[in-house]
Amino acid sequence: MNILLIGSGGREHALAWAIANSPLTDNLFAAPGNPGIAEEAEVVRLDPTDHGAVVDFCRNMEIDLVVIGPEAPLVEGLADDLAAAGIKAFGPGKAASRLEGSKGFTKDLCARANIPTAAYRRFSDAASARDYAKAKGAPIVVKADGLAAGKGVTVASTLEEALQAIDDCFSGEFGAAGAEVVVEECLSGEEASFFAICDGRTALALTTAQDHKRAFDGDEGPNTGGMGAYSPAPVMSDALVEQTMREIIEPTVRTMAADGAPFKGILYAGLMITDEGPKLIEYNIRFGDPECQVLMMRLKDDIVALMLGAIDGTLDKMSARWHSDAALTVVMAAKGYPGTYEKGSEIKGLDEAGLDDDVEIFHAGTKRDGDRILANGGRVLNVTAIGKTVSEARDRAYAAIGKIDWPEGFCRSDIGWRAIERERQG
């Protein structure tokens, strides 16, 4: 098959690596791509926001499958426009993408389908949102309704912080994404990411992972897109996976289908494992970044076959099997991220760092300049390893990082700490 991959992050490098390994793949193209993706695919000049240009490219190059990595093109309806042109696309259409594109939509769906989630109210004006927050008191969570690049959520430990967050949203801090606000109960417990692949009717459980959202060691500092991840998440026992499928994923897929917006693609549930069981924090409609990197390292089955199963509606006849080994990824970011950072510094030592067969270095924000690799974004590299345990994978990943010479970068030194503590306690 000829396949086109849309995206340019570490998630898409990991997808390119897995897709290139599939026996179903003849030619892999990618746009916009990055220097790591260019090792696996032919990077083409194509603007993914220009849907007409993507359709034309697919027709000219006889593309059989388009894999859409990030949420923005999905929320903007790229999968619908490709499907309308008769081109298979992996990822949900615009209507089903509301599960990520509108937090209020998802909360209302949870209420209708009796899916466990934090108690909430939706608001379209600051005064009523403020009154509700005052009545409920802190801690309380304030969320801009729409996509805000991971920055639209405030977990407020004081009422003042919550009121400030409400004012920020309505004053246009997040643009249109903040025109509506969800104010919700603050949940406590351990977080886990759960992934399922769906074909509109059937949801096939994939596996679990844990992200590290805060920028600095000890889960301190500002929220980021994710500073590292591992899979599987030990907190997700088989019983919890089964409960999550029954109480959260399956009712979602049933309700979306009944509403005429069947969900096809990756459903990524951000969960809080509370004393009362798993509760849905939010949905994403695509693989996590950097969670995808650890998932692809552990997947035994063919990712392309699974994606085709999701498009063709045949997941009920398929399975997804995983290596029992753990995988862990450490994000190397430019100093200053998630705030302001410099671009253009040189990264050396990548070839040597990648020599270990159990290590893969996925590129995110990098740029090639002749033989040199330069930093070109906030999250720059994902140093990913497998091992019998999370501790072993962690040791391999940090050994590889030790060989990378990039003074302008930083990473957390404690990725995997929760799982490693569990492993220590036996």
Over the window 290 to 309, marking each residue x when it contacts ligand GLY by CB under 6 A and - when it does not, the resulting string is -x------------------
Q: Does 282 bind ligand AMP (CB under 6 A)?
A: yes
Pick from 213, 254, 335, 367 the residue near ligand AMP by CB under 6 A. 213
State the minimum distance, in angstroms, from the CB of residue 212 to ligand GLY. Answer: 9
Identify what 8 binds: ligand GLY, ligand AMP, none; CB under 5 to 8 Å per kind.
none
Pick from 104, 234, 278, 288 the residue near ligand GLY by CB under 6 A. 288
Pick from 42, 161, 190, 191 the residue near ligand AMP by CB under 6 A. 191
Structure tokens at 354: 């990648």
State the minimum distance, in angstroms, from the CB of residue 132 to ligand GLY. Answer: 27
Pick from 138, 159, 186, 305 the residue near ligand AMP by CB under 6 A. 186
Contacts 24+ apart (CB under 8 A), 417-421: 418/190, 418/210, 418/234, 418/235, 419/210, 419/230, 419/233, 419/234, 419/326, 419/390, 420/390, 420/391, 420/394
Identify what 291 binds: ligand AMP, ligand GLY, none; CB under 5 to 8 Å per kind.
ligand GLY
Pick from 40, 71, 184, 289 the residue near ligand AMP by CB under 6 A. 184
Identify what 288 binds: ligand AMP, ligand GLY, none; CB under 5 to 8 Å per kind.
ligand GLY
Pick from 74, 187, 197, 266 the residue near ligand AMP by CB under 6 A. 187
Nearer to ligand AMP, 293 or 366 (CB): 293
Over the window 114 to 143, marking each residue x when it contacts ligand AMP by CB under 6 A and - when it does not, the resulting string is ----x----------------------x--
Identify what 153 binds: ligand GLY, ligand AMP, none; CB under 5 to 8 Å per kind.
ligand AMP
Nearer to ligand GLY, 11 or 130 (CB): 11
Over the window 200 to 219, marking each residue x when it contacts ligand GLY by CB under 6 A and - when it does not, the resulting string is -----------x--------
Identify what 226 binds: ligand GLY, ligand AMP, none; CB under 5 to 8 Å per kind.
ligand GLY
Pairing mode, strands 326-334 and 228-231: antiparallel
By CB under 6 A, name the binding residues for ligand GLY. Answer: 211, 225-226, 284, 288-289, 291
By CB under 6 A, name the binding residues for ligand AMP. Answer: 118, 141, 150, 153, 155, 184-187, 191, 213, 270, 281-282
